[in-house]
Structure 1
């Protein structure tokens, strides 16, 4: 889903061969049996085991096609190839107009990816996003059409691909949110990053909006700034002006002239509109910050010096050390431990940033990481990390993620991939036996399981069609015992108090992600933190003294802690109306 603005034709031609958003190494597997069927506007291709998902994908694609044809620009000619594959254990998709219009969607649902967690239907969201790329990048008017008829689908004659990345991705995120009841503009993650940048005087100018790897938020920049700027323009000048801008670019002989196209479509240049947008954001978020400060802000103790990504803190059984996963942007991703004196120890490099779980009484951790199983598959397996001997692979091709150890250390609750969805499972670590706790369903996904202190219950986040992402409690065989929340906020990452009375979790119910606690004795829902930025992934120390969590700041995520003090928690506010009763248009 990423693109760059090219400043030379030669470099452009070299790089254009890479599709928009194509993840490195994620080639489609040629060693399985593939099937195809046609709809009115698509040829849908899928491999064995994915027919139910592929049939649903074709339906969602036709819905997106009809909506984009009405709200955006004219659709491209001919059928579009839509490929559905389940050869990787991460969520993504990509699109390319060359040599023909093609979309690839990976089946893994993004319930483990915070920025993508607000969706009513993952297929609808990702297909709408990628199909927007096809409509956009294929669109051309004026001299470009006869040139394309004469010379064919040559990269030179696609004027939209000269646009900067924030325009390309901004449009796709805008329409994914405009044409569904969810999406990243309606969600809270992008706004959190923008709000924090504004309040900490780190807001990017328009010339930095495509982003750079060295400057947080790195590759997310073009998505965040591009989409929210498009939403601002649509709010100020009407939604149909967004499509008018694309038509203007598609007809320009010199497609780089974005300010000219913007002036014709919106009545103002992008440069000027960007400045007006920044002023409006400073006024809006300044007022929000004042109101939150008046209510009393949580001031955590930040334990890490470097930001970018410091995630999934887990207290050791001794309560003194905290393990977490880290990517600083200057070193390879790793599993780390914070010691009582503040020293950080790097235990082992890692490929992905999933949670870790301590073995009781041993200086070892259980985690899951992505591995190349062969040239065509990137799958998640369990690993054991020790403080002195590195990493040991425990499974091979098991497709297991987010493990949490039982107190006896012999088994783990985890999430297993399942042909376009996933299920909670119990993994017997000595034998490798996997016992499902639920039946696979395309309408239900799971994330972040945690055993209770007694090991007789499992808290887990459950997503259901309609955007209901809530925390539930299961018994050891998968029977539903409690449903802590039932709303369209993103409620996830549960953690137990040491006595088993409270379940803490993160929720964006107010529009800002904070920590909450559910009292299992009384049924009361309590707000634990009140931050300006975001608080995620709580964990409570075994002695009941501290809550560690991932805390968002201007340079990314840090590990922070606050005292564990239930007396100071207050009644949780209701879920914001925009989530519970979403409208048909972005506001």
Structure 2
């Protein structure tokens, strides 16, 4: 009994931490619909109404597909307390989802969407309906004891099941939406197949091995596709129904055996075989084309971000952000002789740009107050080994030096809206160059060698992610690429051409003439 009580108190404490993640200093407003309460900060009613319309559509579709309608209205909280795209949902105490309004602005597995808010809402509302769902004894006892933690059976499923189902529901392959059809996810699973598929006993756990936090989404969504393809969507739904009737948690093998005729161990073997049939021909085709020769210059980088090279008197030197997974992220330097050293620790992933005289610009997340974590601009001077914070609560996501090192182009975020700013060398605002509307997102940027233009990875509702060139004097954008292929990470070279990446079933590096 003491162990059970301790577990309950720990669980309630864990879940209740998120209740207080919302800034109480804001003037909060609420609008109500048939199935929802939508809470928003004063001044953003139009955004809240838009979110409500999408969530009501999600409610209609998902309650039909998952065959469950929550008895009480769901609380939807629109949060602008971070510059990173994310959200979470929980049924504890009451059905609640917090949606962070910042859109994705880089290739981080979240880039496949035609409306970011819609994709986010459908994913999180799947959690609401799925985790709230109960049947049999749990449903009966909830009528007596209320929303007691252990009367929500689906909370106790492995995270790859809950996240896999939500990612499955967000995905529309025919429209190029969702992680279940993304080029990046396919490339990640090809690597898993090539290096050995992880056993279900490992995927069940919170893993630190690659791909770490993405593991539950990656393996989960492909498992749902495997089930749907081989057994049908109706069997997937039956599996959800059976687990929702568990009075005692963790009976995942019993439920699988009842629905599929086998428990998860042989089912996972079938899943492995399915993955190999799907991805091994792709691996063979890629190898048959011939792999481009390259030289590995970094080590033990769990995730490498913001790679930049600069020519010095000693030769070419490289800076990058290393996130090893074992310790805090670091700014790394590789000198012309190939020797590597860590210069300083960082707060996770960062954007970066170099200037030979002015130093290294970094953007990283930092506390603005007790409730908000925003991205700020920092300046690192290698010769002085000093890191200076240039902005306080600045909300700058991407930065690029002008050629003279006296000005900075920066991408700014505020409540889901993206703008392009011109800053001085101290990151003080000179001019607002461009203000985006709904359906316009700027990703990575780079200033041209002549300082007259800025290239950006730009998302527009009618075209997805493409490269565009911003003429600073004219204040206008010109498209460089068009189409549905995701283009990103543009960078000028000395002759004015642009290097970038793009996706066309596979990921490629390319070069184009900016003219």
Q: TM-score range by the shorter chain?
A: over 0.9
Q: Deviations over 1:103-153 (max 9, x none)?
A: 100111012352111111111111111111111111110011121111111
Q: Which has the higher contact order (CA 8 A, sep 6+)?
A: 1
1:195 aligns with 2:197: no
> How many angstroms apart in 2 are the aligned matches of 1:26 and 1:434?
37
Report the structure, 1 or 2, having the larger helix content. 2
Cα shift at 1:93: 0.6
Cα shift at 1:432: 0.3
Q: Pick closer, same or farther for the CA change 1:481–1:440 going to 2, 3 Å.
A: closer
Give the TM-score, by structure 1 length. 0.82
Bigger CA drift: 219-228 or 178-187? 178-187
Residue 314 of structure 1 is matched in structure 2 by 308
> How many angstroms apart in 1 are the aligned matches of 2:125 and 2:112?
19
> How many angstroms apart in 2 are the aligned matches of 1:138 and 1:96?
8
Q: Secondary structure at the match of 2:259?
A: helix
Cα shift at 1:433: 1.3
Residue 494 of structure 2 is matched in structure 1 by 498
Residue 389 of structure 2 is matched in structure 1 by 393
CA contact (8 A) 2:357 2:405 kept: no
Q: Pick closer, same or farther for the CA change 1:120–1:19 going to 2, 3 Å.
A: farther
Q: Which runs of 5+ in 2 are unaligned?
A: none
Q: Pick closer, same or farther for the CA change 1:212–1:158 going to 2, 3 Å.
A: closer
> How many angstroms apart in 2 are the aligned matches of 1:235 and 1:220?
23
1:175 aligns with 2:175: no
Q: Pick closer, same or farther for the CA change 1:16–1:61 going to 2, 3 Å.
A: same
Residue 296 of structure 1 is matched in structure 2 by 290
Residue 463 of structure 1 is matched in structure 2 by 459
> How many angstroms apart in 1 are the aligned matches of 2:58 and 2:271?
29
Cα shift at 1:466: 5.2
Residue 363 of structure 2 is matched in structure 1 by 368
Moved over 6 A (4+): none
Q: Secondary structure at the match of 1:140?
A: coil
Q: Secondary structure at the match of 2:270?
A: helix
Aligned residue pairs: how many? 509
Residue 379 of structure 2 is matched in structure 1 by 384
Cα shift at 1:284: 2.9
Residue 124 of structure 1 is matched in structure 2 by 118
Residue 89 of structure 1 is matched in structure 2 by 83
Alignment of 1:319-334 (within 5 A): 320-334=316-330
The RMSD of aligned alpha carbons is 2.2
Give the TM-score, by structure 2 length. 0.94
Q: Pick closer, same or farther for the CA change 1:210–1:113 going to 2, 3 Å.
A: farther
Q: Secondary structure at the match of 1:18?
A: helix
Q: Pick closer, same or farther for the CA change 1:12–1:115 going to 2, 3 Å.
A: farther
Residue 342 of structure 1 is matched in structure 2 by 338
Please point out which of 236, 241, 244 is paired with 1:247: 241
Alignment of 1:222-237 (within 5 A): 222-237=216-231
Residue 78 of structure 1 is matched in structure 2 by 72
> How many angstroms apart in 2 are the aligned matches of 1:77 and 1:386?
58
Cα shift at 1:360: 2.8
Cα shift at 1:454: 1.4
CA contact (8 A) 1:347 1:385 kept: no
CA contact (8 A) 2:458 2:465 kept: yes
